[in-house]
Structure 1
């Protein structure tokens, strides 16, 4: 039996060798005998080359007869046939890279009948779709067309490639796949990657893929798959890698995912999965990596996590998991997971409790993230056992106490972040004893005291330091001079009250971001050197924050690569350097606000082609606004308020301005016509501007949210076009010479309508964010919009709370007519000021509809009639002024209005009565009589004065009559006797009435009329 088998094997081998010999002879006859290159295949490759666009000459070697030596071409050593074509872009930089191949794929490729490997990835082909002739390459085992800008429908002909093992069509976002049936016939397929290929219409996606029993890797991340079946029968018995990230299934996690017994990598990130993480997760005995971040999972974490013996990476971040974090560490450290777990990310959840000492049992940990939770208590001392730890992120929790010195034993630690906790105590040299690998150090937002000796040498690899709000000063830290590669240095609010030493210039060339703001650093600004950036970061612009210190002296220039410079709130004086724009052309954010700078605005600012934010406010700058600012096409926010600027406002063209502040200057003339279509804030108040308010403001500036023109010399009527500004929530036209009526069309200002929640959540502009960094602790610089407003009878400045202010101020004009009832529909109003006009009529009865109103001023008008009872419904009202009108009747009683007991609110309205003014009268039960309503003291006081007046009147009349008779002797004696008699009776009567009043007794008083003053 064995002999016959051997003979059969020898016979088969002979047949195979004879077949190969015949094939080789045929190929040799068809070739030019140049390195085995077959002529027909060479010609096919040349036709293929002619249809391509090759700007970088990647196919320069495609000439001559030896095609097997051409770039990207490989031939069989036996047959000489082309078996491999690899034209992948070697730089892998995407479709905009100059090395990409373009053009179309020529069908001559079908002549490469022995081709089993085709890679055209990372290019930019412009054909309408993946050519269907690729389905004719029957020997293909590897096909990679990823990131090559293919579009249109994926041809079903690809289903003919029965030998295909590897298919990658990923990152072709314009492909159209409405049916994955072609995949089900690829019986040999081991890897399928359709990442970022839209599968919105492919409803049968799982049924088709479920036919691939040999499939090992499946990548469907970012495919916009709308639905995942919850209860299918799965045949993917060989599947080891499953990537379904970024599909937003918005369902619970299907339990069948945890029944795939061979799964090793499970990626379910960003799918809006809800509910709990099932206990069946513990069944994945071979799983090494689980990614479930950025979902909506909740509940407690299952204790079965500790059963995952092969687990190396577990990422559950950015969910809503709750429960005690100590239970998580106990289950992990008690099970077999502790022997291999290297990466644990539980950040951005709702975990509470404390970190237990069991943490020290996870000795293989290299990355530990517990940031953005509710974890309290101490950092355990056992953390010093994690000798393999490279990353420790505990920021944004409630950790308290001091940082354990054992952390200094972690010699491999590169990233340490304990920012935004409740930590306190001293950070000493012991904490850095063996941290020789430390690169990132963040302790921002704690009450730590950074206390090291003058000879301390910090970890030499440190490149990023964040010590904001820690106590570092009062001296400027001398240990910084040892860090020649420092790139990020944040020591804002660090209690430094020193000067910046000269050696700082030596380390300045490596610093990309410096934040020394909110200290008390004195004397001159620091000197900076040009940065020594590596070639891959040549477009990085540096950021320097020196605001809110005590720097003095002239403004010195900084290196040309600085993109953000904030030196506001200091004591700088002198002129802005005339060449600032020429020597710092890369500035995108410049704030010199609140200094003592003078002189004029240099026109070289117009050379800053990247400038987005320019803040020169609160200085002593004079002269005119440069007209060349219209050339800065990126300019988004300009603030030149509170200076001594004069002249006309220049026409600034079609800038993309979002905020313009020129208030509190000496500008004259009219508002120039401008095409600021994106403008949201316009503040020209406190100038000497004239003319009518332009109607084009309402017609063109549809994004306007704040319009402040108060304290100018505008005249004419309020243009009704302002009513078209549906996003307007602050309107201030006070103290001008405006006439006409208050427009009733203000009811169209829909941004002023809403309840407290909708107003607070309003998506309105309040800042221009410019410098966006990747790390969460880098300072995101903003120009925060601001406004001075007369609210509650005093001037208030609004910045970060500006979005909550909804206000109309038309005071100090010559407006006439009645208050439109439509104003009471603006339910979001917090301030309404119509004082100092000539308004007549009644206060609208529906004024109580302004439920959020905090300040109401209608004083100094000619309003008449009663005060509406609905005014008592304004529960937030804290300032009210109705003085100097013609209001009458009783002041409404009850509710919140009673707390406003200042009589000056109502002064100048002779017809008003009731608290806090004098009392009103009431009918007595017996009819016809009236009493003064008020306190016993009020009644006693008034009645006492009445009787005193009655006595004086009687005496005056009596003396007048008797004086005629005085000169008769017979009457003189009788007169004195009579006067004495009545005088004694009057004193006795007053004494009696006084005793009655003091005893608390009341009595009626008759008057001739119903009113009495």
Structure 2
């Protein structure tokens, strides 16, 4: 007699109609069979009525297939012991009436991307023991009843994102036992955020219409457990509250794309555990508070697109040496670039564009250690930036919850992170008032993929060392006062796909090398003394090949010239071998001479191309 109790064929390449799995019941005894897992396959068809014969099922996991059609009460009414139901990522529709009373008490329910709507499923009112609920992207277009919020005390993870849920969340007195993950983003919730949500460890409320932050953060009656708070893309107005000491366990904070104003409060310096701070695209003003130097665990700071002013504090380089991403673009920062920024040895993305920075670019750029590495482990960087979304869950049911969290949450955030928050190693200083020359030390940053120094007042020549940036894909030096020839070394960079040297004072011939001819004229326009095919402008010596008007004279003198050149070439050969060991030999084996020689060759090549 078959006593099979569990069948797990998840994440294989099974295909065919799901009904075929139930046509022959000889493979199991339905009175002892408890677990059926077919997730992550290519199974198609409708959920057969015969599945109800497996009345002892405690786990039914069918997510990630191509199932379709409706799931009714009759499909589920025989499962009195069902505790885990996973139908996510399919085209199933739950056609269940508002008066149905399920015979089971679920611990886990996954219906992501199924069709539950448009009304909120009333039968969930009976599920008071549920610890994992995912009804995201399920076409709900309704308000959430109060009874639902009152049933959250046992919740470990709640995901209702990507619906059209409306209304306010009631301010109830509720004890959340397991520090849950709560994801309500991409809905239409509005009004105040109730303080009971402070008990969540991860709270993602972005892309809603929440408007008040003060009453949420400053309620001292609730002990906050928040490690991650995302309130981006809401309608937050007014000044940032000065009560951040009540949520000092935060690791991740995103308040971007709101209408927050005023100064950054000094109490933000109490977030000493913070690793990611994003305040992008608000109306914040004033200087950065010096208390932020206490946040020395930060690996990402984005305060771009505000009205912040004053000098860039030197303590950023001194106290925030863990920084990987620093974005201060689009503010009113002034003064010079502090050399202390060169202490950011781990920095990979530095954007200070569109400010009022003046004076020169520091020559200590070579101290930016990671940018000076040829190969940068971008995957490891992303993992470090987003590790807080995958921290270990210490409450009961931890192994079960964490496995599904990696599947649904980690991929979403990393994909979004790559797209919005992190780019390849870059240095962006465009649209400032920087003066002086481009330091040759910039050639040490061989890991750079993007360099933008455009729209400044830089002078002097393009250093030939810029050709060392073998990883560079985008280079913009346009709208400065740069003069001299375009270094030949620049034309030897294979990865360079975007180049803009326009509107400078460059002169001479545009180098002809590798794929340099593929750049359009717009990359070089606005340089009066520049010539080349890209500009449809011939250089002064093009086509100037003088020939003798008396070929017979050339014939008479030909033999005499050949004798002369034969003797000349012989003496040159002898001189070459003598001079090689006398001069070039030491150059090859003595480093100081070798470095001087390479600089001389670079200048010679630039000189030749300037005059061709």
**TM-score, reference length from structure 2:** 0.76
Q: Distance in 2 between matches of 1:925 and 1:637?
A: 65
The yes-or-no answer on 1:907 pairing with 2:545 is no
More helix by share: 2
Correspondence for 2:54: 410
Correspondence for 1:91: none
Q: Which sections of structure 1, spanning at least 5 residues, go unmatched?
A: 1-338, 340-362, 654-673, 787-796, 930-1013
Correspondence for 2:591: none
Greater relative CO, 1 or 2 (CA 8 Å, sep 6+)? 2
Correspondence for 1:622: 261
Q: Distance in 2 between matches of 1:440 and 1:600?
A: 45
- Residue 782 of structure 1 and its aligned partner are, at CA, apart by 8.0
CA contact 2:142–2:165 (8 Å) conserved in 1: yes
Q: Distance in 1 between matches of 2:120 and 2:222?
A: 27
SS class of match (1:652):
helix
CA contact 2:270–2:295 (8 Å) conserved in 1: no
The yes-or-no answer on 1:495 pairing with 2:139 is yes
Of residues 681, 703, 706 in structure 1, which corresponds to 2:325?
Answer: 706
The yes-or-no answer on 1:594 pairing with 2:212 is no
1:606-652 per-position Cα deviation (integer Å, ceiling 9, x unaligned): 33454444433322233444433444554444434433334444343
**Per the alignment, do residues 766 and 920 of structure 1 end up closer, same or farther by CA in structure 2, a change over 3 Å counting?**
same
The yes-or-no answer on 1:644 pairing with 2:262 is no
The yes-or-no answer on 1:769 pairing with 2:389 is yes
Pair member with larger Rg: 1
Correspondence for 2:223: 585
**Per the alignment, do residues 928 and 915 of structure 1 end up closer, same or farther by CA in structure 2, a change over 3 Å counting?**
farther
Of residues 85, 92, 104 in structure 2, which corresponds to 1:448?
Answer: 92
CA contact 1:784–1:800 (8 Å) conserved in 2: no
Q: Distance in 2 between matches of 1:549 and 1:862?
A: 50
Of residues 198, 210, 225 in structure 2, which corresponds to 1:572?
Answer: 210
Correspondence for 2:5: 366
- Residue 551 of structure 1 and its aligned partner are, at CA, apart by 1.9
Of residues 182, 189, 195 in structure 2, which corresponds to 1:544?
Answer: 182
Correspondence for 1:485: 129
Q: Distance in 1 between matches of 2:85 and 2:241?
A: 41
**Per the alignment, do residues 617 and 637 of structure 1 end up closer, same or farther by CA in structure 2, a change over 3 Å counting?**
same
Correspondence for 1:472: 116
CA contact 1:875–1:896 (8 Å) conserved in 2: yes
SS class of match (1:867):
coil
Q: Distance in 2 between matches of 1:721 and 1:831?
A: 22
Correspondence for 2:477: 858
CA contact 2:286–2:307 (8 Å) conserved in 1: no
- Residue 924 of structure 1 and its aligned partner are, at CA, apart by 6.1
CA contact 2:457–2:480 (8 Å) conserved in 1: yes
**Per the alignment, do residues 858 and 603 of structure 1 end up closer, same or farther by CA in structure 2, a change over 3 Å counting?**
closer
Of residues 370, 376, 381 in structure 1, which corresponds to 2:21?
Answer: 381
Q: CA RMSD in A?
A: 3.6
CA contact 1:517–1:549 (8 Å) conserved in 2: yes
Q: Distance in 2 between matches of 1:461 and 1:850?
A: 62
**Per the alignment, do residues 825 and 574 of structure 1 end up closer, same or farther by CA in structure 2, a change over 3 Å counting?**
closer
Q: Distance in 1 between matches of 2:422 and 2:6?
A: 41
SS class of match (1:577):
helix
- Residue 555 of structure 1 and its aligned partner are, at CA, apart by 3.5
Correspondence for 1:145: none
Of residues 424, 446, 452 in structure 2, which corresponds to 1:827?
Answer: 446
Correspondence for 1:884: 503
- Residue 416 of structure 1 and its aligned partner are, at CA, apart by 1.9
Correspondence for 2:300: 681
**Per the alignment, do residues 761 and 393 of structure 1 end up closer, same or farther by CA in structure 2, a change over 3 Å counting?**
same
| Count of equivalent residues | 531
1:113-159 per-position Cα deviation (integer Å, ceiling 9, x unaligned): xxxxxxxxxxxxxxxxxxxxxxxxxxxxxxxxxxxxxxxxxxxxxxx
Correspondence for 1:923: 543
Q: How does 1:952-971 map to 2 (within 5 A)?
A: none
CA contact 2:77–2:102 (8 Å) conserved in 1: no
1:524-545 per-position Cα deviation (integer Å, ceiling 9, x unaligned): 33676625x8xxxx5x223332
SS class of match (2:120):
coil
**TM-score, reference length from structure 1:** 0.48
CA contact 1:613–1:783 (8 Å) conserved in 2: no
Correspondence for 1:996: none
- Residue 843 of structure 1 and its aligned partner are, at CA, apart by 2.5
Q: Distance in 1 between matches of 2:66 and 2:184?
A: 26
CA contact 2:217–2:247 (8 Å) conserved in 1: no
Q: Which sections of structure 2, spanning at least 5 residues, go unmatched?
A: 550-612
**Per the alignment, do residues 612 and 758 of structure 1 end up closer, same or farther by CA in structure 2, a change over 3 Å counting?**
closer
SS class of match (1:581):
coil
CA contact 2:277–2:301 (8 Å) conserved in 1: no
Q: How does 1:7-46 map to 2 (within 5 A)?
A: none
CA contact 2:256–2:280 (8 Å) conserved in 1: yes
**Per the alignment, do residues 401 and 842 of structure 1 end up closer, same or farther by CA in structure 2, a change over 3 Å counting?**
farther
Of residues 715, 719, 726 in structure 1, which corresponds to 2:338?
Answer: 719
Q: Distance in 2 between matches of 1:877 and 1:826?
A: 15
SS class of match (2:239):
coil
**Per the alignment, do residues 900 and 525 of structure 1 end up closer, same or farther by CA in structure 2, a change over 3 Å counting?**
farther
**Per the alignment, do residues 841 and 614 of structure 1 end up closer, same or farther by CA in structure 2, a change over 3 Å counting?**
closer
Q: Distance in 2 between matches of 1:716 and 1:609?
A: 32
Correspondence for 1:553: 191
CA contact 1:464–1:489 (8 Å) conserved in 2: yes
SS class of match (2:182):
strand
CA contact 1:555–1:575 (8 Å) conserved in 2: yes
Of residues 100, 105, 121 in structure 2, which corresponds to 1:461?
Answer: 105
Q: Distance in 2 between matches of 1:711 and 1:566?
A: 26
- Residue 807 of structure 1 and its aligned partner are, at CA, apart by 0.7
**Per the alignment, do residues 762 and 899 of structure 1 end up closer, same or farther by CA in structure 2, a change over 3 Å counting?**
same
Q: Distance in 1 between matches of 2:383 and 2:548?
A: 61
CA contact 2:195–2:216 (8 Å) conserved in 1: no
- Residue 582 of structure 1 and its aligned partner are, at CA, apart by 1.9
Q: Distance in 2 between matches of 1:457 and 1:898?
A: 73
